[in-house]
Amino acid sequence: MKKVTINSVAEYAGVSKKTVSRVLNNEPNVSPATREKVLKVFKELDYKPNPIARGLARNKSFIIGCLYDNPSKSYITRVQSGALEACHKFNYNLLIHPCELRGTELIENVGQLLTTSRLDGLVLTPPFSDSQELIDYLKTQDIPYARVASAIQDDSSISVRSNDEQGAFELTEHLISLGHKEIAFIKGHPDHSATEKRFSGYRNALSKHGIDFNSHLVAEGNFSYHSGADSAKEILDLDPMPTAVFASNDYMAAAVLKLATQRQLKVPEDISIAGFDNAPIARHIWPGLTTIAQPVEEMTRQAVEQLIMQISDPSTEVYQKVLEAKLITRESTASR
């Protein structure tokens, strides 16, 4: 199986390699006859351009990098799947790069990544999309990036997020409408902007319905199941015990449900539990968790698609979008 290069195509078609290159890239100024001829040779020889050579000549890699540091595996795979969809649409590929937000090595680590792989762009997922330090660095490096679920205000870069605040607001209103007044809240990781957004959605709903905010009902989690278990203990030990718990994600909510069940509490009869994210676990456990569904794939897909647009044409207008979150009610919440 001999290698088919642009040279062999050119020779076979009886044109210069530059003309072949023109046809390859759909450039203008090629006569229809020539174009036809070259295209036919493409087919005949089954020619596939070498992306590495193209990359060298154009200083492009056709690879997008995806940064993440997230304990939720379902979130990660959803992000990946949205990103991949957009990449494949434009013949890009996706390189994944989990790393840690904390620690001085972050910038160094990302710098290393950029020099060793010549990415064409980066998708930042939480908590990286909220790291001002990283964003400042990327600006100096002159590499395009898109932010997913970021709360940072930056009109100069692509951003797609969902409305965490509205989601949390709706969920809280749902609990209130079921008659709950003592609603405990488990916060997420302080590095994630979603944490504050969800919290304020919760507070706003309380306030709208004239329920006093009580800081004793708030526990500090970090989105991990483990932290949810700790918070669950705090909350279920309260006297009087709240009648509902709203955890900032489903893993923590699952931890609350587990502890409640261990303690022979009936859910939702004795206590209502709600989460956020609509992770698979929300429907894999019994009772299923009432939660907020975010369009994670869609956010990432749009972000990456726009990123690629911007890479191919830097004058593209910067895209910024907020998608809606949706309340999903399951069995874990009921009127009291």
Partner DNA sequence: ATGATATTTGACACCGGTGTCATAATGTCA
Partner DNA sequence: TGACATTATGACACCGGTGTCAAATATCAT
List contacts with a second copy (CB under 8 A): 48, 50-53, 55-56, 59, 61, 63, 73-74, 76-77, 80-81, 84, 91, 93-96, 98, 115-118, 225, 251, 254-255, 257-259, 261-262, 280-281, 284-286
Residue 19's binding partner among a second copy, DNA, none (Cβ under 5 to 8 angstroms by kind) is DNA
Residue 321's binding partner among DNA, a second copy, none (Cβ under 5 to 8 angstroms by kind) is none
Q: Which of 11, 24, 214, 261 binds DNA (CB under 7 A)?
A: 24
Q: Which of 1, 2, 43, 57 binds DNA (CB under 7 A)?
A: 57
Integer Cα distance of 77 and 314 in angstroms? 29
Cβ contacts of residue 6 below 8 Å, gap of 6+?
17, 20, 21, 24, 47, 49
Asked if 21 interacts with DNA (CB under 7 A), we say yes
Pair 181, 217: CB distance under 8 Å:
no
Integer Cα distance of 302 and 304 in angstroms? 6
Integer Cα distance of 295 and 155 in angstroms? 22
The nearer residue to a second copy, 206 or 267, going by C-beta atoms, is: 267
Strand partners, 328: 291
Asked if 49 interacts with DNA (CB under 7 A), we say yes
Which has the closest alpha carbon to 273: 213, 331, 333, 205? Answer: 333
Asked if 56 interacts with DNA (CB under 7 A), we say yes
Residue 18's binding partner among DNA, a second copy, none (Cβ under 5 to 8 angstroms by kind) is DNA
Residue 22's binding partner among a second copy, DNA, none (Cβ under 5 to 8 angstroms by kind) is DNA
Integer Cα distance of 46 and 11 in angstroms? 15
Residue 116's binding partner among a second copy, DNA, none (Cβ under 5 to 8 angstroms by kind) is a second copy
Integer Cα distance of 201 and 83 in angstroms? 28
Handedness of CA 5, 11, 16, 19 (dihedral sign): negative
Residue 34's binding partner among DNA, a second copy, none (Cβ under 5 to 8 angstroms by kind) is DNA
Residue 253 has a CB neighbour count (10 Å cut-off) of 30
The nearer residue to a second copy, 61 or 294, going by C-beta atoms, is: 61
The footprint of DNA (CB under 7 A) covers: 3, 5-7, 14-19, 21-22, 24-25, 28-31, 33-35, 48-50, 53-54, 56-59
